[in-house]
Structure 1
Amino acid sequence: MAKLTKRQKALTAVDREKFYGVDEAISLVKSNATAKFDETVEVALNLGVDPRHADQMVRGVVNLPKGTGKTVRVAVFAKGGKADEAKAAGADVVGAEDLMETIQGGTIDFDRVIATPDMMGVVGRLGKVLGPKGLMPNPKLGTVTMDVTKAVTDAKSGQVEFRVEKAGIVHAGIGKASFSEDDLKENFRAFMDAIIKNKPSGAKGKFVKKLSVSSSMGPGVKVALEEIAGA
């Protein structure tokens, strides 16, 4: 009989029909992350919303207490003292019209965009470029602000943005497989708390319909919703 690969063993270790408690689910995901790189641990949710309606949009940010394990590159649109402040806070790219022209030329080497309010006239010209990539600054997400130090620090220290997609799906990374189980659980709970707090007024019936966790290359593990307060 042919020897099972690590991936095949991982697939057989998870019962696809079973709903696991949070602790067991995260333990399974961690033990089945066998790739040669440090896999991202991801959460996927099916929500009972239709994001085509404004009152059913789910979008927000959450500061993961144990960080993401990722290096986040941040671009800031600012001038003068605020540009200096952004650089001092650790922003990777800082500029104004020159940064706009760089982006229009096809160079996007960052993961988050922050802007001071006075720069939104410039940033607005990039809507068709940044919008589809989920990079457009938004005051509700804290990425249009005069407090660029806090915005840059938050972005680099474990802040995760989430947004529901067309089919009512939200997915986000909550850490790395190298994290301890306790750290992953803490991040998971912080993420789920943020989702529940962002339940829109137009959501009717059951809010969280399905929930699973997985690693980048590992099998999905279904999570029992009974453990999720407010789901």
Structure 2
Amino acid sequence: MLNINNKIAKGGYVYSKNIRLAKSKIDKQKCYDVREACSIIKEISFAKFNETVDIAIKLGINPNHSNQVVRGIAAMPSGTGKTVKVAVICQEEKLDEFKTTGADIVGSLDIIEAIKSGNIDYDVYITTPAMMVAVSQVARILGPKGLMPNPKLGTVTNDVAAVVKKVKSGQVEFKVDKAGNIHAGIGKISFSIDEIEANINALVSAIIKSKPSEAKGTYLKGIYLSTTMGPSVRLEISNFTESGNERR
């Protein structure tokens, strides 16, 4: 926690000396190369914990149109630095088979009943197509939390072992918000520059591939990199493939 004595009031807001110093090292008029941006956020990090590296991407889409919703999953080649707890909901006859997948818990209707009781202790829920009718009973509970198994995200599958492995190895789910932005944590500040850069490229590439055909004009409008406590650094969009920014 920042020492209150180190804080300075300005314009109705409270800024810490550390944040002001960090901001002074960033040229707000400049768009930075990815590697340089990664180097900067590591240099100006001042928190006494392993901050999450966050990315914010402004898209040139209309999120009010259902055919322009951008959503998907990106595998992080460097991992995310987080331990992900996975629950598998399957048929009774599949319990023994799926207990070898590496999931934190494997169950059937018992997990569904636990969810109904308010016990939602896992980061990802995976189920099989055969169990979707039963799992739909808790859609109103899991849905608002972004935890409902979804075929489009790969969490409704018969290949449970492969999906558990992928989730455990590190992946990021992304979805555009009502303002046309995507926010995601893509690693930790303790990662090397190479590791952070690889994760940024993987996420942006996945978002580019998810561009709706109905979206017109510039797709990638702004990309910003930051840490949990730090200021943001704007990235040079031309660093990324031009195919994501083509005009139609």
Q: State the partner residue of 1:130.
A: 142
Map of 1:19 onto structure 2: 31
> 1:42: Cα distance to partner?
1.1
Shift, 1:51, TM fit = 2.4
**Where do 1:138-157 residues align within 5 Å?**
138-157=150-169
Offset of residue 225 of structure 1: 1.2
Q: Distance in 2 between matches of 1:26 and 1:87?
A: 39
Question: Which amino acid counterpart does residue 150 of structure 1 have in structure 2?
Answer: A
- Give the corresponding residue for 1:66: 78
Could you tell me how far 1:196 is from its partner in structure 2? 0.4
Amino acid at match of 2:62: D
* Secondary structure of 1:190 counterpart: helix
Cα displacement (A) at 1:94 = 2.0
* Matched AA of 1:12: S
Judge conservation of contact 2:91–2:130 (CA < 8 Å) in 1.
no
Structure 2 residues without counterparts, runs of 5 or longer: 1-5, 8-15
* SS of residue in 2 equivalent to 1:88: coil
* SS in structure 2 of the partner of residue 171 of structure 1: strand
Instruction: Answer yes or no: is the 8 Å Cα contact 2:128–2:157 preserved in 1.
Output: yes
How far apart in 2 are the matches of 1:163 and 1:133?
A: 13
**Equivalent residues in 2 for 1:181-220 (5 A)?**
181-220=193-232
Whole-Å separation in 1 of the counterparts to 2:112 and 2:70: 29
Partners of 1:182 and 1:224 in 2: how far apart?
17
Quick one: distance in 1 between partners of 2:162 and 2:63?
30
Q: Partners in 2 of 1:87 and 1:13 — Cα distance?
A: 50
Considering Cα pairs closer than 8 Å and 6+ residues apart, tell me whether 1 or 2 has the greater RCO.
1
TM-score (norm 2): 0.88
For the pair 1:53 / 2:65, whether they are aligned, the reply is: yes
Following the alignment from structure 1 to structure 2, what is the Cα–Cα distance between the partners of residues 206 and 85? 47
Equivalent of 2:43, from 26, 31, 34?
Answer: 31
**TM-score, scaled to structure 1:** 0.94
Deviation sequence 1:23-77 (CA, Å, 0-9, x none) = 1111111222221111111111111112232220111111111111110011111
- What amino acid maps onto 1:42 in structure 2? D
Q: Verify the 8 A CA contact 1:76 1:83 in the aligned structure 2.
A: no
Whether 1:83 and 2:95 are equivalent positions in the alignment is yes
Cα displacement (A) at 1:81: 4.7
What are the residue-to-residue correspondences of 1:90-101 with 2, within 5 Å?
90-101=102-113
Residues matched between the structures, number = 230
Q: Please, what is the CA RMSD of the aligned residues?
A: 1.6
For each residue in 1:131-180, what CA deviation from the matched residue of structure 2 results, as whole angstroms up to 9, or x when unmatched?
11111111111110001101111110012111111111111111110000
Which 5+ residue runs of structure 1 have no aligned equivalent?
Answer: none
For residues 183 and 215 of structure 1, the distance between their equivalents in structure 2, rounded to whole angstroms, comes to 15
Distance 1:81 1:189 in 2: 41
Distance in 2 separating the partners of 1:190 and 1:169: 17
- Partner residue of 1:223 out of 226, 235, 240: 235
- Percent of residue pairs bearing the same amino acid type: 50
Q: Which amino acid aligns with 1:83?
A: L
| Residue number in structure 2 paired with 1:110 | 122
CA contact (8 A) 1:22 1:185 kept: yes
Inter-partner Cα distance in structure 2 for 1:17 and 1:106: 48
Match runs of 1:153-192 below 5 Å: 153-192=165-204
Q: Supply the distance in 1 between the matched residues of 2:161 and 2:93 (Cα, whole angstroms).
A: 12
Other structure's SS at 1:89 match? coil
Larger Rg: 2
